[in-house]
Each structure stands twice: as C-alpha cells, then as structure tokens.
C-alpha cells in the first residue's frame, strides 16, 4: 500500500467495518463467507494491508453493500 493513499484505505476499511456491523456480521462471519481468515478482515478494516479489487468485490457481496455505497461512505 502506498503511504500517500493510507487515508483512503483507512476510510474504506472504516466503511467496510461500519456496514459489516450494521448488518450484524462479525469479522469471522465475513471471513467464512469469502474464505479468508478473520485476521485478513481485521487488517483490511484497520488499513494494515492493501486490498485488491477482487477482494473488495467479495467483501461487498459478503456484507451485502454495493461498492458505490462503500466508496460513498468512505468519501471516495
């Protein structure tokens, strides 16, 4: 992840976390749905790692939130 984009990743991670919790899902629920560890979800939500488009598509599906809504909520 490029340091100059850290704030964008952080806001996107906060957006994922917000909608996940809004839907009553745990990190483990989401992780199980997309076949990754809950640690991966935690790292994404806390901007400790970058995220690929493929992973973003999967997260969007798992938390039942359109990408446009994730980006809008993140201010992107």
Residue 45 is predicted with a pLDDT of 96
Number of structural domains found in the chain: 1
Question: Residue 19 sits in which domain range?
Answer: 3-74
Residue 1 is predicted with a pLDDT of 64
**pTM attached to this predicted model:** 0.89
DSSP 4-31: GGHHHHHHHHHHHHHHHHHTT--HHHHH
Q: Are 24 and 31 in contact (CB under 8 A)?
A: no
- What's 44's domain CATH number? 1.10.260.40
Classified as helix, coil or strand, 64 is: coil
Per-residue pLDDT of the chain (76 residues; tens, 9 = 90+): 668 889 999 999 999 999 999 999 999 999 999 999 999 999 999 999 989 999 999 999 999 999 999 999 999 9
């Amino acid at each position: 992840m490029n340091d100059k984009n850290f704030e964008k990743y952080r806001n996107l991670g906060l957006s994922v976390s917000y909608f996940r919790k809004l839907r009553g899902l745990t990190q483990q629920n989401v992780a199980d749905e997309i076949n990754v560890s809950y640690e991966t979800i935690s790292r994404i939500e806390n901007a400790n790692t970058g995220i690929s488009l493929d992973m973003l598509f999967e997260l969007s599906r798992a938390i039942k939130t359109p990408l446009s809504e994730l980006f809008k909520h993140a201010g992107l």
